[in-house]
Amino acid sequence: MEFFVSIIAIALMVIGAFGIIFLKRPLDKVIMFSILDAGFVLVIVLFKYLDVAMFAALAGPLSTLVFILSIVKIKEIRTKKIASGDA
């Protein structure tokens, strides 16, 4: 059983990593980061570092929120530059 869970965790991390590399839209990259993070937390749990897994599970959504806020801010800055004619 543990073998299948480790295969699933590795598959989640690989899919998330390739998605981050090859996808173009920023929100798609955030979704792929969340998939990679889920696989990473699963690997941490498999190695029985439950205190580290708890921290990673709490820090994961916070980092995703920061990514989303930065994407919104960058989009705002780009639209202001286009509107002002600087770009």
Domains plus CATH for the chain?
2-84 (1.10.287)
**What pTM did the predictor assign?**
0.81
Question: Token match 């570092």: residue?
Answer: 49
Distances (CA, A) of 63 to 3, 42, 53, 81: 29, 17, 15, 27
Q: Helices 26-46 & 2-22, crossing angle to 10 degrees?
A: 160
5-55 per-position pLDDT tens digit: 999 999 999 999 999 999 999 889 999 999 999 999 999 999 999 999 999
